[in-house]
Amino acid sequence: MEAARLSADGQSNGLVAKQLQVSVRSVQRWQRVYEAPPQSTSEGRVPAGEE
């Protein structure tokens, strides 16, 4: 994910948002999802799209 890579390179959320032409809030949401541990369903499988 480009936003996570740019943030990991030390760029501010504002600069990442500007480069990707999105809001700073979107960058913050993406970071939270990227940094969160994977969550399993009750059946022990990872939800679709999170593989």
Residue 7 forms part of a structural domain: yes
For residue 43, being part of any structural domain is answered with no
CA dist 47 and 39 (Å) reads: 8
Predicted pLDDT of residue 24: 94
pTM of the model as a whole: 0.61
Got the DSSP string for 1-51? -HHHHHHHTT--HHHHHHHHTS-HHHHHHHHHHHHSPP---TTSPPPTT--
- Total domains in the chain come to 1
pLDDT at 25: 95
For residue 31, is it within any domain?
Answer: yes
**Residue burial 5-44, b: 16+ Cβ < 10 Å; e: rest:** ebbeeebebeebbeeeeeeeeebeebbeeeeeeeeeeeee
| 11 belongs to a structural domain | yes
Residue 37's pLDDT is what?
Answer: 79
> Is 26 part of any domain?
yes
Q: What is the pLDDT of residue 34?
A: 82
- Residue 30 within a domain: yes
Predicted confidence at residue 10, as pLDDT, reads: 84
Does the residue 51 lie in any domain?
A: no
18 in a domain, yes or no?
yes
pLDDT in tens, the chain (51 residues): 677 777 778 889 999 999 999 999 999 998 888 887 777 656 556 666 655
Domain that holds residue 27: 2-35
